[in-house]
Amino acid sequence: MNPRPSNTLRATLLQASAAAALSLGLLGAAQAQDALKIGFIGTLSGPGGALGQDQYDAFMLAIEQRGGKLGDVPVTVIKEDDQLKPDVGVQAATKLLQSDKVDIITGVTFSNVMMAIHKPITDAEVFFIGSNAGPAPIAGKQCSRFYFSTSWDNDMLHEAGGQLTNDLGYKNVYVMAANYQAGRDAVSGFKRNFKGNVIDEVYTQVNQPDYSAEIAQLQAASPDAVYVFYPGGMGINFIKQYRQAGLLGQIPILSAATLDGTTLPALKNLAVGAITSAPYAPNIDNPQNKAFVEAFEKAYKRPPSMYAAQSYDAASLLDSALRKVKGDLSNKQAFIEALREADFQSVRGPFKFDSNHFPDAAFYRVDVVEENGEAVLRASTPVNIATRANFHELCEMK
Amino acid sequence: MSFNLFVIQALNGLQLGVLLFLMAAGLTLVFGIMNFVNLAHGSMYMMGAFIAAALYNYTGSFWLAAVLLAPIMMALGMVLDRIALSRLYDRDHLDQVLATFGLILFFNELARMLWGPSPVYMEVPEALGGAVQFFGIRYPAYRLLVLAAGLLVALGCYLLVHHTRLGMLLRAGATHRDMVGALGVNIRLLNALLFGLGAVLAGVAGLLAGPVMSVQVGMGEPILILTMVVIVIGGIGSIRGAFYASLIVGVVDTLGRTLLPALLRGLMERSSADIAGPAIASMMIYILMAVVLALRPQGLFPVQRG
């Protein structure tokens, strides 16, 4: 990257073109020579599409708020949809690396896609800021100095869930998850802090539409509580069917990444009473979050989800680090150092990086409650996770 | 597994089956009678669910939404046939697959533009919100409605195809298309009606699925794949085949999902059973399809051609 042009007219033109490209949505078409290229990969279609859309919308919101720039550098964002398919994700990553020659890649919604594209991207020494999926291996043995996460590792999400279940005093719990990497991580993470008895663990097909059979089995097992991990549309299907079986309110349901800002609008009051552990809820009380929620709701007419919040944090993180290096990415180690400082105000509250570049940030008990006739997510007490997987001990930064 | 649980699971299987039948009936008629591969059938299901959700949320009545949905879907199917599909009748299957795949992308994007990327809210009608008790079994009332509605539609289809003039023409068109045309029957209108009917059936499936499942962009594709499996097993073009195959697929899928993991746990270690169980269970219907294709390529209940 060249130093900033001294010619102010040229700089203005660049900014104007970047801003115009943003407002027109013609992101790929912006040809501003000095604009930093950021590739966004996310699941934008199919049953998980709302998650990736939230990540993308929040990321673009952060750029828009800074006039088309991050860290005073004009940026263009090239959007790719992985369709929740690892092979499509690899194609998208290859395209971004080889033909678009992006400087930074961000996003990534699901763990199976992350597992497929993490190595090609970090091997190419392209900076990679994941804002959702956090499969355990990349937080541990396969960690890379080029990879940063603004979300969590999958285990942490469910360590918080297990801790919360424990704190609430449930002894016999029935555990269900989708049958893929993150689902497996979910159950192992859950069991780390849960001291009671897991009656049964059930894995269902990814994107399974109908859970009536599993719900009947669950009912027959009569547990104290149910813990589920069903992100996106799977969660909506499950909660609807759980309620129709007459179980919501009878057998308490706890979850992680199942009831969130993307699924609640489709469930509304059907989900009232469900408990979840989450890194974020729109009512988290800090000034940057208030501003974020207000701007997001104004721009997109819906409350932000945790996916949006994490992606917004990714943009804020990039903003802070790019400012520190004055937009110069030629010294890669310097930019990594700048990212590692995490010198930004996270909407999740206090935020710093562990040695594996995964965040050390709070998790909350989040309830679905009815407020003025509307179902909303309300964070209350932070969850104090007793035992962490400590993946960073396995991680040797190279 | 106790007897009660088995009954519940069998009901669950049947109910998935009738939902599949609503989809398969339209698809198999179009495929069998017009020799047309319509991948956009899943999109009709999605549009049905979205339109039903919009009507339901607007009018506040599930039943009114159901009544209004039918003519809308009929019109959608006929317009789609006139604008796009009728141009593809004489092309080969690959062209039809490509074009209707394009329609899937079109409808997904249309739904995204109209209703946004997030799933849409749709609730069970209030009267059917709870569970009913019978013979010591608790079963969601709404699912019984789905079961009943599906069986009624199946009966309606049977009567339509075998006991009406329209059905007679459809059956005639399936076997002697040119002859029917030569006798002065408006084949174009017949075709458009057929697409309209298929769209209505798919839309009704979407309406029934909406309160149980997530109404969202792309919801049509997974069910389309299952539907394809159903019509291959049942025999392409056969309504009777679609009916039996739907029930077989629904029951095999449901019982496979519940019985197989338990069965495998008896045979192998817990951890490997947990991995193998769901994997094999999700393959069951495809294995079934492969077996049927190997032994009876024409399907289990093919159309009897005179």
Distance from the Cα of residue A359 to its chain's centroid: 12
What is the rounded average pLDDT of the residues A310-316?
Answer: 96
A340 touching B (Cβ < 8 Å): no
Residue B57 counted as domain residue: yes
**Whether B209 and A209 lie within 8 Å, measured CB to CB:** yes
Specify the number of domains making up chain A: 2
- The residue type at B282: S
Write the pLDDT tens digit of every residue in A229-278: 998 888 888 998 898 888 888 899 999 888 888 888 888 888 998 999 99
Read off the CATH number of the domain in which A235 is found: 3.40.50.2300
Question: What average pLDDT does chain A have?
Answer: 87
DSSP code string of A11-25 = HHHHHHHHHHHHHHT
CB B37 within 8 A of CB B31: yes
How are beta strands A147-149 and A172-178 bridged, if at all?
unpaired
Q: What percent of chain B has pLDDT over 70?
A: 98
- The residue type at B291: V
B2 touching A (Cβ < 8 Å): yes
Residue B137 counted as domain residue: yes
Q: Which of residues 91-130 of B touch A (CB under 8 A)?
A: 108, 116-124, 129-130
Smallest CA-to-CA distance from A233 within A151, A276, A152, A178 is with A178
Q: Which residue of A has its CA nearest to B223?
A: A209
Q: Is the ipTM of this complex over 0.90?
A: no
- The residue type at B207: L
DSSP code string of chain B = --HHHHHHHHHHHHHHHHHHHHHHHHHHHHHHHH----TTHHHHHHHHHHHHHHHHHHHS-HHHHHHHHHHHHHHHHHHHHHHTGGGGTTS-HHHHHHHHHHHHHHHHHHHHHHH-SSPBP----GGGSSEEEETTEEEEHHHHHHHHHHHHHHHHHHHHHHHSHHHHHHHHHHH-HHHHHHTT--HHHHHHHHHHHHHHHHHHHHHHHTTTS-B-TTTHHHHHHHHHHHHHHH-TT-HHHHHHHHHHHHHHHHHHHHHHHHHHHHHS-HHHHHHHHHHHHHHHHHHHHHHHHHH-TT-SS-----
Specify the number of domains making up chain B: 1
DSSP code for A301: S
DSSP code string of A114-134 = HHHHHHHHHHTT-EEEESS--
Chain A CB contacts of B123 under 8 Å are: 268, 270
A237 touching B (Cβ < 8 Å): yes
Question: What average pLDDT does chain B have?
Answer: 86
Chain A CB contacts of B117 under 8 Å are: 44, 49-50, 53
Angle, alpha carbons B236-B259-B4 (nearest 5°): 100
Write the pLDDT tens digit of every residue in B18-54: 989 999 988 888 887 777 888 999 999 999 999 999 9
Q: Specify the pLDDT at position B235.
A: 87
Provide the 10 A C-beta neighbour count for residue A323: 17
Residue A3 counted as domain residue: no
- Tell me: do A237 and A97 sit in the same domain: no
Q: Which of residues 35-74 of A touch B (CB under 8 A)?
A: 44-47, 49-50, 53
- Tell me: do A233 and A288 sit in the same domain: no
- The residue type at A195: K
DSSP code for A326: T
Chain B CB contacts of A176 under 8 Å are: none
The closest CB to that of A216, out of B9, B123, B261, belongs to: B9
Calpha distance A157→A164 (Å, rounded):
11
Q: Which of residues 185-214 of B touch A (CB under 8 A)?
A: 209, 211-214
Measured between CA atoms, how close is B82 to chain A, in angstroms? 28
- Tell me: do A33 and A122 sit in the same domain: yes
Q: Count chain A–chain B contacts defined by CB atoms under 8 A.
A: 128
Domain that holds residue A74: 8-152+284-361
CA dihedral B185, B187, B193, B199 (to 10 degrees): 160
Calpha distance A59→A39 (Å, rounded):
11
Calpha distance A56→A106 (Å, rounded):
9
Measured between CA atoms, how close is A44 to chain B, in angstroms? 8
- Tell me: do A41 and A173 sit in the same domain: no
Chain A CB contacts of B219 under 8 Å are: 47, 209, 233
Q: What is the pLDDT along chain B (306 residues), one digit of tens a residue?
A: 578 888 888 888 998 899 899 999 888 888 877 778 889 999 999 999 999 999 998 998 999 999 999 999 999 999 999 898 888 888 888 999 999 999 999 999 899 889 877 788 888 887 787 778 887 777 888 888 899 988 998 898 888 888 898 888 877 877 777 788 888 888 788 888 888 999 999 999 999 998 888 888 888 888 899 899 999 999 887 888 899 999 999 999 888 888 887 788 778 777 777 777 777 888 888 999 999 999 998 888 887 654
Residue B66 counted as domain residue: yes
Residue B117 counted as domain residue: yes
Chain A CB contacts of B150 under 8 Å are: none
- Tell me: do A37 and A139 sit in the same domain: yes
Residue B35 counted as domain residue: yes
- Tell me: do A296 and A368 sit in the same domain: no
- Tell me: do A368 and A356 sit in the same domain: no
The closest CB to that of A212, out of B2, B12, B117, belongs to: B12
pLDDT band at A18 (very low <50, low <70, confident <90, very high): low
Contacts of B55 (CB under 8 A, 6+ apart): B64, B65, B68, B69
Write the pLDDT tens digit of every residue in A337-394: 999 999 999 999 999 999 999 999 989 999 999 988 889 999 988 888 888 888 888 8
- Tell me: do A127 and A188 sit in the same domain: no
Measured between CA atoms, how close is B121 to chain A, in angstroms? 4
Residue A14 counted as domain residue: yes
Longest dimension (CA), chain A: 74
Q: Which residue of A has its CA nearest to B128?
A: A244
- Tell me: do A234 and A139 sit in the same domain: no
How are beta strands A359-361 and B137-140 bridged, if at all?
unpaired
CB B149 within 8 A of CB B88: no
Q: Specify the pLDDT at position A210.
A: 84
Residue A332, H or E segment: helix A332-340
- Tell me: do A353 and A292 sit in the same domain: yes
Provide the 10 A C-beta neighbour count for residue B267: 9
- Tell me: do A196 and A100 sit in the same domain: no
Torsional sign, CA A237, A242, A248, A254: negative
The closest CB to that of B140, out of A209, A220, A244, belongs to: A244
Q: How far is CA A233 from CA A49, A50, A85, A116, A209, in A?
A: 9, 9, 16, 23, 8
Measured between CA atoms, how close is A159 to chain B, in angstroms? 20
Residue A1 counted as domain residue: no
Residue A75 counted as domain residue: yes
Smallest CA-to-CA distance from B111 within B19, B173, B47, B179 is with B47
- The two tokens of residue A77 are 């964002």
The closest CB to that of B222, out of A207, A263, A265, belongs to: A207
Write the pLDDT tens digit of every residue in A104-135: 999 999 988 999 999 999 999 999 999 999 88
Domain that holds residue B32: 3-217
Residue B284 counted as domain residue: no
